[in-house]
Amino acid sequence: MSQNETITQTLTGNGLVFARTERPGTPQPWWWISDAKRVPKAESQTYRHRETLKAYGCRWSKRRLAWYFIGAELPNEIAALVGPQDNTGEPVAQDDVPVSDAPMAPRYSPRLTGSVTPVRESYQQRVLRRFAEQFQADLDRITRCPALPAVATIRLDDPWA
């Protein structure tokens, strides 16, 4: 996004992000349509819906790796790709949370098993968690005692000291 461009509206859903950008002095806003995260081409939602996007006037930006549409309002068919949007601002209450009957797999982090759906920790996450725990323990130990003043002793009789 360029520096003189502002995002005025964002729609998200179904792995897609629609961002409306406006520049001062231009008559029409631009809608940028991209995937919610970087994914391979086979998993890309924008690639999956490329024929619909082309049919309603969207064009591909090679520089941004995203589709764009120039116009004040998105066509309903394109806006429908993100699914229904909740504009009320009220939280959605879920009464019945799906619970899996499958047995839990081993090697779960004790910190992550309390959630509704357990998430297996990757090796990198495990190493980072242990590093963070050790760092916090060291920090607590260091801050428990006030720092001693640094004192240096220089012996003038021994040049190798």
What pTM was estimated for this model as a whole?
A: 0.50
Cα separation, 104 vs 120, in Å, equals 10
Asked if 10 and 78 sit in the same domain, the reply is yes
Q: Where are the alpha helices (DSSP H) in the chain?
A: 45-48, 50-55, 76-79, 123-144
Residue ending a domain, choose from 32, 67, 82: 82
Is residue 98 a part of any domain in this protein?
no
In this structure, the answer to whether residues 72 and 22 fall within a common structural domain is yes
* Per-residue pLDDT tens digits for 126-155: 888 888 888 888 877 777 765 555 555 556
Alpha-carbon torsion (154, 155, 160, 161), positive or negative: negative
Same domain? 13 vs 65? yes
Could you read off the pLDDT of 32-76 as tens digits, one per residue?
Answer: 999 988 888 888 889 999 999 999 999 999 999 999 999 988 888
CA nearest neighbour of 32 among 56, 54, 11, 4 = 11
Q: How far apart are CA 49 and CA 66, in angstroms?
A: 12
- Looking at the structure, tell me whether residues 73 and 120 fall in a common domain: no
The arithmetic mean of pLDDT across residues 82-88, rounded, is: 65
Could you identify the residue written with the tokens 């961002």?
19
Residue range 20-38, pLDDT digits in tens: 888 888 888 999 999 988 8
Q: For residues 111 and 83, which has the higher predicted lDDT (pLDDT)?
A: 83
Angle at 62 (CA atoms; ends 57, 64), nearest 5 degrees: 95
88-121 confidence digits (pLDDT tens): 555 545 455 455 555 554 444 455 445 455 567 7
Same domain, 125 and 72: no
Cα separation of 74 and 89, whole Å? Answer: 22
d(CA 76, CA 82): 11
> In total, how many domains does the chain have?
2
Range of the domain at 126: 109-145
